Amino acid sequence: MAQDLDLREICTIDYRTDFASLLEKNKDSLFPSSSTLGSVHFYRGLSFLEKNMYPEAIRDFKIARTDPTVSRTFCNFYIGVTYMKLNISDSIFAICSEALNVPVSQLKNPGFWQNAEITQDHIFSAYLIGTNEVVNHTTTDTSLIETCLKFATHDRDFLEAYINYGYWNFQYGHYTKTIDLYKHALDLEPSYDSAIILCMGYVYRLAGDPDQSMKSYILLKSKYPRFAAGFNNKGCLYAYIDQDNKALNTLSIAIRKDPRLLDARCNRGLVYLKLKKYRRAFDDFSAAIQIDVNFADAYYYRGFTRKAMGDLTGSIRDYSRAIQLKK
């Protein structure tokens, strides 16, 4: 059965913590046309942040926010971003508490966010708390994470909020909600669309809507005909709906476009394995191992293929290598 195949679909979206689009979107309104000392400190702080020079970044952001011509809201936000990079949860709560003039104990209560005032400071604080808690695994309170990430989407132009809340819903199997959030993100940032469309195709498939999944991959092909990951996922979709020849053809296109795409090599091998074309499956799994000698799944699948071909000694050797790599 196709659904028994452990195919490797690609979804390149993850939680975003760079917040680059925020600065780009607001660059014309953050500062006056003339360069002030505060603005110089702010932008140097951003450079320090990108260079992973976190103490220096925090120092500059704190100096910048004393300049009345600089957005204190954005200074506090990027101080929080820096603390997130450092995985200092208490400091994030402290900077948000300072920005909102609210005790930390209230910020940790999901009920506070359900009724909070909708200001940019509140939106940024909710987003910092929610993103930090999920990225750095600092709490088991999923209700706080979800409430904060959801609150941040009150800013309809906040791309990162929609990406991260969408990914949160994806991880918890709320696929319809994920699709709605990703659609909005796509409207906000067309240049980010290859990753979003790719993942939407995957999520539609998980949601049980292969037709919409196929439409996503067709759109992706029309806009990015060289994007091998799109062909990989489209090939997987064909395999899942038992159109094996189309699956093989599409996965072969993915491999031609990117010969080192391990997922496509492995997926084509699995389809060959399903069709009992063992020699071709063996060749694909062997090619995957040549690309990455530590690819445990390729050894496992090749071991299975060797066994089907009657090579028990070889299968034991491959299974043993897979076990060694998975420990």
Span 227-273, pLDDT tens digits: 999 999 999 999 999 999 999 999 999 999 999 999 999 999 999 99
**Packing angle of the helix pair 120-135, 89-100 (nearest 10 deg):** 170
pLDDT tier at 189, thresholds 50, 70, 90 = confident
Write the DSSP symbol of residue 191: G
Q: Which of 27-31, 117-121, 139-143, 212-216 has the lowest mean pLDDT?
A: 27-31
Q: How confident is the model at residue 2, as a pLDDT?
A: 46
- What's the mean pLDDT in 187-204? 88
pLDDT tier at 3, thresholds 50, 70, 90 = very low
Of 195, 264, 262, residue with least CA distance to 233? 264
pTM for this model (two decimals): 0.85
Q: How confident is the model at residue 222, as a pLDDT?
A: 93
Distance CA 151, CA 146 (A): 8
**What DSSP string describes 173-187?**
T-HHHHHHHHHHHHH
pLDDT tier at 1, thresholds 50, 70, 90 = very low
Of 106, 104, 124, residue with least CA distance to 115? 106
Residue with the larger pLDDT of the pair 25 and 75: 75
* Highest mean pLDDT out of 24-28, 52-56, 155-159, 195-199: 52-56
Distance CA 164, CA 248 (A): 34
Q: Reply yes or no on whether the pLDDT at 278 is more than 80.
A: yes
Tell me the CATH number for domain 1-9+169-275: 1.25.40.10
Q: Reply yes or no on whether the pLDDT at 137 is more than 90.
A: no
Q: How confident is the model at residue 228, as a pLDDT?
A: 97
Distance CA 150, CA 137 (A): 18
- What's the mean pLDDT in 72-85? 94
Fold of 276-327: 1.25.40
Domain made up of 32-155: CATH architecture:
Alpha Horseshoe (1.25)
Q: Reply yes or no on whether the pLDDT at 19 is more than 80.
A: no
Q: How confident is the model at residue 4, as a pLDDT?
A: 66
Q: How many CB atoms lie within 10 A of CB 20?
A: 12
pLDDT tier at 26, thresholds 50, 70, 90 = low
pLDDT tier at 23, thresholds 50, 70, 90 = low
- For 286-302, write each residue's pLDDT tens digit: 999 999 999 999 999 99
User: Tokens 């989407």, residue?
Assistant: 153
Q: CB-based burial of residue 137 (10 Å sphere; 0-12 exposed, 13-18 middle, 19+ buried)? A: exposed
Q: What b/e sequence results for 219-229 when a residue is b if at least 16 CB atoms lie within 10 Å of its CB, and e otherwise?
A: ebbeeeeebbb
Q: Reply yes or no on whether the pLDDT at 33 is more than 80.
A: no
All CATH 1.25.40.10 domain ranges in the chain, comma separated: 1-9+169-275, 32-155, 276-327
- What's the mean pLDDT in 114-135? 95
* Highest mean pLDDT out of 189-193, 194-198, 318-322: 318-322
Helix (H, G, I), strand (E, B) or coil at 298: helix
User: Tokens 């910048």, residue?
Assistant: 64
Question: What is the chain's mean pLDDT, rounded?
Answer: 92
* Highest mean pLDDT out of 17-21, 185-189, 296-300: 296-300
Q: Reply yes or no on whether the pLDDT at 31 is more than 60.
A: no
